Structure 1
């Protein structure tokens, strides 16, 4: 007769496949950093084959595109499948405690043995001393690394050897991740994001990139965050499909004017400029005397504006600030340009605007994201749900405080399309 508790059954089930360990790391990372907590997790780093056990557990269509896993969806399935009366966050705590045997009588000795092992590694691999010293603190984000060590110290030391070589061979100029992996390990996929060595490399980089020593290490959650971290160490993960959509902007390399940008600006041609090209740009600025660049998130708005005002310097984010777009904005701000951003007046739209304003506090301003614009563009037939409403409280910039109160009072979103005529009219005043 089986006497296992629901929790024990769940723990046993998820131990059967390693994909759940990596998935739960992503879940836990999200819970541990509540300021940026998301209601779903990006799992595009995993292959369809790797995700099969997860998709099967959730009862989803295996042939469909499963790029995200909803936390509420997983929690409900966890509770109903195992008759488990606990939240996903509490289950993750139990899961990692069980794996690492934190509650066992030997845990204190095991932790001391781990510290001794890291001290041994410090003597052998001096380039990673800072990382080993961090690991010895035994923080929550390092628990999975402790598991790797406990499973096989010798295999972990093999990982460390490659990590040490990776730090020693960091490139002076941007290099593709696959080529970097080939140089360091002899395998072009060794540092892929879903591999153990790839996750360890990100942890090493994230530890090095911390602003303060008291901060915990946070392995990037989204592909964009991973790309940004790698670029800090001159490593490119994707330099072709990651691009910025731009028009009427000049750019320079160390050799002077870039002829492609110059020609495109003269003919008011739109360019999708990949990261591969942007890394060689040392300066960017509008192709006119006005130092303002207009940034819109909607491609339809972008095209309609250009139809009426073909010479306006403009960038289209297509609903997100990818690495290429941020790289271009960095260059524009370095030239003292002003960024005017217009997005949908929704919780997500305001959150994107706030991120931009916090990144460039001296050089960015919202455009058509005020109370009069909201009241004019408000879509009365749609209501914002309560989960989205909570996003309005994630940041606290004074410039949006009154607008947020208005949205909370009325409960409706407002979309850029309703403001298109006003936008075109204002830009014609500046550029015609």
Structure 2
């Protein structure tokens, strides 16, 4: 349209009496996508203003055909433009957006983004195992990936999926050297914070890990700090070599540091960096380590051991402080590598049984529950105990059938702090007579430690 005609038409369209009618015409075009339907001409002012543009007067209080208004604009005016062109001009030139069309276009864009994610992963050169795991998660998470494509856009989604896929390609073997989260992110993306939980790649990495480690994910509240740490730990990823630690007492080994530590009878919190340095030298006293979930139990037992026995006869005690972190696993792996037996005790709840299940899965020949029988559970019950998560118990029922049956019957959790006296008796039998607690599937076992004088 010639600029002079455009100026004249805009002047007519900006007549105040037409404001409501033009918005009604715009709504009709949005709804139908073409001139269809009817709009009401409310009063004489609207009828007169519309007549000034198209040359025809409609009766006030009646409805006018949108198609007829469009035809009159095209054929009977000097402007020769469509109603859609006139409305766009009045509204500033932007397109008339139809929600259905926009929705369809957005859905198509999301589908394209997800399809490109799959194509991208296929070209990353991952190992067969890593590729299978990533693709399996992506198929299960397609709905979420579409949602993220809409929220983040295609390229951020592609970048995040690529980072997660490459991370799976660099996951350590079980019990292999730890991988540090910031280093992994920097190597893959160039940004050390890319796998932070607030970043797209970090969010997707946690979702992928939760998909493959469902039992671990189910122990903690989704999205909590404990949930994130547990998932990263299960994958062999530590946040850094310093912040994760394991509490120890009574370790032994043929190095000046370990000999002095034992002689001093001190508890020692060891971070992952230190454990990597001493892993080849560390040992459990007489090949047995007692592992507890709770620091209160750990402190009570170390105090008892100091009071009753000479330092050279102190048993090895380890405290995980809840879910096992990379430092816990590093120490236990080092001990098992030298043939140590592990006896673990935790709370009688979903988390405690889940931790024990993880230990049994990883060290089936070395790990055994310690004081986690139905009888011990009943002895640990106290008034006011919290209710149990019955669904969570079902996940470990196959591992602890008798215990889970009793816990389901009582419906309450119990804490292993109530069993400290029993733990002390077990340690005394071990130190004085060299008799371990019952091993899984076996009875108590004697060792060369028998006959030790405290």
Instruction: State the TM-score, normalizing by the size of structure 2.
Output: 0.55
Identify the residue that residue 52 of structure 1 maps to in structure 2.
none
Secondary structure at 2:323's aligned position in 1?
coil
Deviation at 1:108, TM superposition (A): 10
Long gaps (5+) in structure 1? 1-100, 211-218, 252-256
Distance verdict in 2 for CA 1:144–1:197, change over 3 Å: same
Out of 188, 197, 200, the position equivalent to 1:196 is 200
Out of 221, 228, 238, the position equivalent to 1:223 is 228
Long gaps (5+) in structure 2? 1-99, 214-221, 307-313, 432-453
Out of 263, 286, 289, the position equivalent to 1:266 is 263
Does the alignment pair 1:178 with 2:175?
no
Does the alignment pair 1:313 with 2:309?
no
Identify the residue that residue 364 of structure 1 maps to in structure 2.
367
Aligned residue pair count: 310
How much is the aligned-residue C-alpha RMSD, in angstroms?
Answer: 4.4
Deviation at 1:315, TM superposition (A): 0.5
On the 8 A contact 1:296/1:317 being kept in 2, the answer is: yes
Counterpart mapping for 1:4-403 below 5 A: 113=112, 117=116, 121=120, 125-126=124-125, 131=131, 135=135, 139-147=139-147, 152-156=153-157, 176-182=180-186, 185-200=189-204, 222-228=227-233, 231=236, 236-250=238-252, 258-283=255-280, 286-288=283-285, 290-310=286-306, 311-379=314-382, 381-385=383-387, 387-397=388-398, 400-403=400-403
Work out the CA distance in 1 between the residues paired with 2:356 and 2:170: 38
Secondary structure at 1:139's aligned position in 2?
helix
Secondary structure at 2:389's aligned position in 1?
helix
Identify the residue that residue 416 of structure 1 maps to in structure 2.
416
Work out the CA distance in 1 between the residues paired with 2:350 and 2:246: 24
Deviations 1:33-86 (A, max 9, x none): xxxxxxxxxxxxxxxxxxxxxxxxxxxxxxxxxxxxxxxxxxxxxxxxxxxxxx
Deviations 1:118-150 (A, max 9, x none): 576468654599759965996231434345557
Work out the CA distance in 1 between the residues paired with 2:401 and 2:207: 36
Work out the CA distance in 2 between the residues paired with 1:301 and 1:138: 43
Work out the CA distance in 2 between the residues paired with 1:324 and 1:128: 28
Greater radius of gyration (CA): 2
Work out the CA distance in 2 between the residues paired with 1:326 and 1:111: 41
